[in-house]
Amino acid sequence: MSTNAEKPLIVQGDKTVLLEVNNPRYEEARDALARFAELVKSPEHVHTYRITPLSLWNAAAAGMTPDYVIQTLVEYGKYELPGNVRVDVQDYMSRYGRLKLIKRDGSLILESSDSVLITEITHNKRLQPFILAQLDAYTLLVDPADRGRIKQALVNFGYPAEDLAGYVEGSPLPIALLAITRSGELFNLRHYQREAVDIFHAAGTAHGGSGVIVLPCGAGKTMVGMGIMAELQCATLILTPSTIAVRQWIDELRDKTTINPDDIGEYTGDRKEIKPITITTYQTLTYRPSRVNKETGEIGEFPHLALFNERDWGLIIYDEVHLLPAPVFRITADIQARRRLGLTATLVREDGRETDVFSLIGPKKYDVPWKELEKQGWIATAECHEIRIPMSEADRMTYAVAEDREKYRIAAC
């Protein structure tokens, strides 16, 4: 086996990738690898990444090819690339887009150029409930109400569908970005923000309109969201992780867009305004009355999820989409005809539901390595320091008996 000791990567047969931090080519290898692999852990000397079907599908959706991924692994790998890794990269990436959801004469169609794949789907017990009829060897008729759920099922089946069925326009709302903000400063989108907007919008075609923009903290994800709103010109519902974030969005919209302040509503615990642009929190949407129905013994439903249907939204923005709670996933499965934008610095979720983000919000459309933006001066230079803080005896006991997921939260406090 040939060896190139000065290269920084070790690619293993199980598709884990080890990256040497002290290697001179560490940064360039990290930035290339992060586009199609997931970071698993990052101790001091060697970082571990994993190449998964989902990470490869996200890469394919973002325009990467199997040849690019393989070439990158060969370029930075110390050893010859394992044959099974080469085959798996080709196989998984070729699966994305082999199935397409399209609209035809008002009906929702699942189509493929592979008749064998269509036959396999018709014989799959988990997919059969979504099929209304087989039109021919290459096309299936599916229920538009199941658009989100069939995409979830197809991801679990191993063949994610490319959704080209289009979107409702929503209520029109004139909005533009200001060249000079109301606070008197010059303003325009940075080059990478404009790229993200253009890629998501895709000139208004069905190839755009849903997906996730991944940018580092401080890179201006809110500006990207506002840029997309200005392209679409429609009523928009914005979901955020906190009331502080709600008010930051309101401040930015008032300062940097032509929108009338009276058209911006805050829907939080403090007030319940529903306007052409409405900004709320995940916590508000997932509030559930604690009262128990005396007859059924069931806890009440989520009353504020009705906000999704209060207006004819043309765009729904999920800020910090990696924090999206389960009840919002369920309602999102029912609103696949509306454009959906996820904004985040990471696709990794604590609950492991990354595939639901991929299926229901959309694949990763755009990302930029933080080091690249740091070098260009767009974000501050990061300095990382580890400070260990001992737990009190009471906290240690709580931590010792907690479930694994709860331990993470306790340790992070």
Per-residue model confidence (pLDDT) at position 1 = 53
For 22-32, what is the mean pLDDT? 92
Per-residue burial over 70-109, b if 16 or more Cβ lie within 10 Å, else e, is: bebbeebbbeebbeebbebbeebbebbbebbbbeeeeebb
Residues 411, 413: Cα–Cα separation, whole Å: 6
Tell me if 216 is assigned to some domain. yes
**151 lies in the same domain as 229:** no
pLDDT in tens, 48-74: 999 999 999 999 998 899 999 999 999
Considering the domain boundaries, does residue 71 fall inside one?
yes
pLDDT digits (tens, 9 = 90+) for 262-308: 999 999 988 899 999 999 999 888 877 765 555 555 555 777 888 88
| Same domain? 250 vs 284 | yes
Q: What is the mean pLDDT of the chain?
A: 91
- pLDDT at position 156: 95
pLDDT of residue 300: 56
Same domain for 143 and 51: no
First CA to last CA distance, the chain:
47
How far is it, in rounded angstroms, from Cα 121 to Cα 128?
7
The pLDDT value given to residue 146: 94
How many structural domains comprise the chain? 4
Whether 31 is covered by a domain: the verdict is yes
Q: Is residue 381 part of a domain?
A: no
Do 16 and 124 sit in the same domain of this protein?
no
Q: By 3-state DSSP, what share of the chain in percent is helix, strand and coil, each rounded to 5?
A: 40, 20, 40
**Residue reference for tokens 């709670």:** 325
Please tell me the least confidently modeled range out of 65-69, 211-215, 381-385: 381-385
CB 233 within 8 A of CB 274: no
- Based on its alpha-carbon atoms, the radius of gyration of the chain, rounded to whole angstroms, reads 23
The answer to whether residues 80 and 111 belong to one domain is no
Q: Which of 283, 276, 221, 282 is nearest to 252 (CA)?
A: 221
Q: Is residue 368 situated within a structural domain?
A: yes
Residues 138 and 107 in one domain: yes
Domain shared by 70 and 43, yes or no: yes
pLDDT number for residue 346: 87
Residue 224 lies in a domain: yes
Q: How confident is the model at residue 389 (pLDDT cuts 50, 70, 90)?
A: confident
What pLDDT is stored for residue 403 in this prediction?
A: 84
